[in-house]
């Protein structure tokens, strides 16, 4: 039985690579924001914000490919079932390819629906549509990368996802700078850079898997991969995760849409401030990803004692880490604004709302970590149900607090994450720790 110090070692072996790789994700968004924030009008910044939001809605919606594969692979790993680990990757890739082809085929319908729901100025919509119809062709690579990331994490390997994420984002950032600053492209350059970077990452992911885990990949037999008996559990879990993620992304999209409804300036400000939230969430999610891997492994091994011990230690380190991030935002929040835009009016308008950013790293921790724990345990139904209730309460809070302007929007968003954390804490004894 692993001792607490051994569990801490496992946590950091998984969490640190995830934190490093996750930090590079908002860095990419920050570079996009910085490049567009220096254009002649705010429309470019708003277009990238809207376009990125639409793809967040789409790709987070298909995040079940990564999330389901992590928990299921970790449980198969805990049971020493190598064959199932390989089949899970094949299953996830097959589903990812099918879904991405459908996204490309129906891209015009998706765009029309998106811009029907999101009210913004004609100038921003035109630029955002251009961004959308280029970046959509990265879908096959993006969804297949979800599968590889999930299986690698389930196999307790956080180094490969770290290398993949960093490489993809470095390529993306370099190409962004080249296309925008050197070739004079604008939102089209940002979108094209993403497409090239995603396919580069997929090639490397295939190479990594063949190098280390080729013994798990026996034969590509669609009859076995998509057999109903094996597929039913995966689809059930994936369906719960899809609904949960859809509600979560809808909540953030609703926040952005309501920002656009106030004014283009508020939209630009909140696009900048959401980079702080992304930075914080991706950092804390390093521990959530570690929770998925370790909790899934102990579920598979039927080890309830280390399941409980790991949960406690991950929460301890997550709150400590969140406190450090909060201190960084408190001390350097104003200075970070200058990294995202050189427009003084946006910087000054954004400063009063930094208070919501400063408290976020601590008050939001529970929701993020419980997500990882529930996903690792594949206890997805309670995760889905609490998210549905939290979303409905969030929408009500937005309309209740809207008279307070942008502060009201941020208050409602904070409420969403707090209520999720509280709800998942209250139901954890029933859905997690009484299973064995």
What confidence tens digit (pLDDT) does each residue in 287-300 have? 999 999 999 999 98
Retrieve residue 368's tokens.
């993020």
Question: Which tens digits make up the pLDDT trace of 297-325?
Answer: 999 888 888 888 999 999 999 999 889 98
Dihedral sign computed on CA atoms, order 366, 369, 375, 378: negative
Question: Nearest CA to 74 among 299, 270, 279, 360?
Answer: 299
Q: Is the per-residue pLDDT at 391 higher than 90?
A: yes
Note whether 377 and 295 are within 8 A (CB): yes
Question: Nearest CA to 424 among 378, 377, 373, 376?
Answer: 373
Question: Which tens digits make up the pLDDT trace of 9-62?
Answer: 899 999 999 888 776 665 666 666 666 666 655 677 777 777 777 887 788 778
Indicate the pTM of the whole model: 0.82
Question: Which tens digits make up the pLDDT trace of 334-347?
Answer: 887 877 777 788 88
* CA gap 124, 256 in Å, rounded: 14
Question: Which tens digits make up the pLDDT trace of 67-83?
Answer: 989 999 999 999 888 88
* CA gap 397, 11 in Å, rounded: 36
- For the chain, the 3-state helix, strand and coil shares in percent, each to the nearest 5, are 90, 0, 10
Note whether 357 and 217 are within 8 A (CB): no
Question: Nearest CA to 140 among 86, 99, 196, 91?
Answer: 99
Question: Nearest CA to 371 among 435, 313, 315?
Answer: 315
| pLDDT for 200 | 95
Question: Nearest CA to 89 among 180, 155, 165?
Answer: 155
Domain ranges of the chain: 4-431
Q: What is the percentage of the chain residues whose pLDDT exceeds 90?
A: 37
| Phi, psi values for residue 348, rounded to 5° | -70, -40
DSSP 8-state assignment for residue 72: H
**Helices 43-61 and 139-154: crossing angle, nearest 10°?**
50
* CA gap 300, 420 in Å, rounded: 26
* CA gap 35, 230 in Å, rounded: 46
Note whether 167 and 24 are within 8 A (CB): no
Note whether 404 and 411 are within 8 A (CB): yes
Token look-up 């309460």 returns 393
Helical ranges in 118-263 per DSSP H: 122-135, 139-154, 159-177, 187-212, 222-225, 228-262
Dihedral sign computed on CA atoms, order 132, 133, 134, 135: positive
Q: Is the per-residue pLDDT at 387 higher than 60?
A: yes
Question: Nearest CA to 67 among 337, 416, 377?
Answer: 377
Retrieve residue 288's tokens.
């959530």
Question: Nearest CA to 296 among 68, 92, 95, 22?
Answer: 68
Dihedral sign computed on CA atoms, order 179, 181, 185, 190: positive
Size of the chain, expressed as the number of residues it contains:
436
| Phi, psi values for residue 72, rounded to 5° | -70, -40
| pLDDT for 34 | 67
Question: Which tens digits make up the pLDDT trace of 88-104?
Answer: 898 889 889 999 999 99
Question: Which tens digits make up the pLDDT trace of 129-187?
Answer: 888 899 899 999 999 999 999 999 999 999 999 999 889 888 988 898 888 878 878 78
Q: Is the per-residue pLDDT at 282 higher than 60?
A: yes
| pLDDT for 390 | 95
């Amino acid at each position: 039985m692993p001792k607490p110090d051994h569990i801490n070692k496992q946590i950091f072996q998984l969490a640190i690579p995830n934190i490093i790789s996750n930090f590079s994700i908002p860095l990419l968004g920050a570079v996009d924001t910085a490049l567009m924030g220096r254009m002649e009008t705010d429309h470019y910044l708003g277009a990238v914000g809207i376009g990125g939001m639409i793809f967040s809605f789409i790709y987070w919606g298909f995040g079940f490919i990564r999330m389901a594969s992590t928990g299921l692979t970790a449980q198969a790993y805990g049971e020493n079932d190598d064959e199932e680990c390989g089949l899970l990757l094949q299953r996830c890739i097959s589903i990812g390819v099918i879904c991405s082809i459908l996204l490309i085929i129906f891209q015009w319908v998706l765009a029309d629906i998106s811009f029907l729901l999101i009210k913004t100025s004609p100038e921003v919509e035109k630029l955002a549509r251009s961004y959308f119809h280029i970046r959509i062709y990265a879908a096959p690579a993006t969804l297949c990368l979800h599968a590889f990331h999930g299986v690698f994490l389930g196999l307790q390997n956080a180094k490969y996802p770290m290398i993949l994420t960093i490489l993809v984002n470095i390529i993306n950032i370099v190409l962004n700078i080249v296309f925008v600053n050197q070739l004079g492209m604008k939102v089209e350059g940002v979108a094209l850079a993403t497409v090239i970077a995603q396919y580069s990452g997929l090639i490397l992911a295939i190479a990594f898997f063949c190098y280390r885990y080729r013994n798990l990949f026996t034969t590509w037999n669609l009859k076995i991969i998509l057999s109903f008996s094996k597929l039913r559990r995966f689809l059930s879990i994936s369906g719960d995760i899809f609904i949960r993620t859809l509600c979560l992304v809808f909540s953030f999209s609703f926040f952005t849409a309501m920002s656009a409804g106030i004014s283009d300036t508020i939209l630009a400000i909140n696009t900048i401030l959401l980079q702080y939230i992304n930075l914080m969430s991706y950092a804390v999610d390093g521990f959530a990803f570690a929770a998925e891997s370790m909790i899934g492994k102990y579920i598979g091994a039927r080890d309830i004692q280390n399941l409980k011990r790991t949960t406690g230690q991950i929460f301890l380190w997550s709150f400590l880490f969140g406190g450090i991030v909060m201190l960084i935002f408190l001390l350097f929040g104003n200075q970070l604004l200058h990294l995202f835009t050189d427009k003084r009016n946006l910087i000054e308008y954004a400063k009063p709302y930094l208070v919501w950013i400063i408290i976020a790293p601590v008050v939001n921790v529970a929701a993020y970590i419980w997500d990882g724990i529930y996903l690792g345990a594949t206890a997805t139904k309670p995760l889905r149900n609490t998210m549905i209730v939290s979303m409905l309460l969030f929408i009500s809070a937005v309309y209740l607090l809207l008279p307070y302007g942008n502060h009201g929007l941020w208050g409602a968003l904070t409420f969403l994450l707090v209520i999720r954390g509280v709800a998942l804490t209250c139901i954890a004894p029933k859905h997690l720790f009484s299973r064995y």
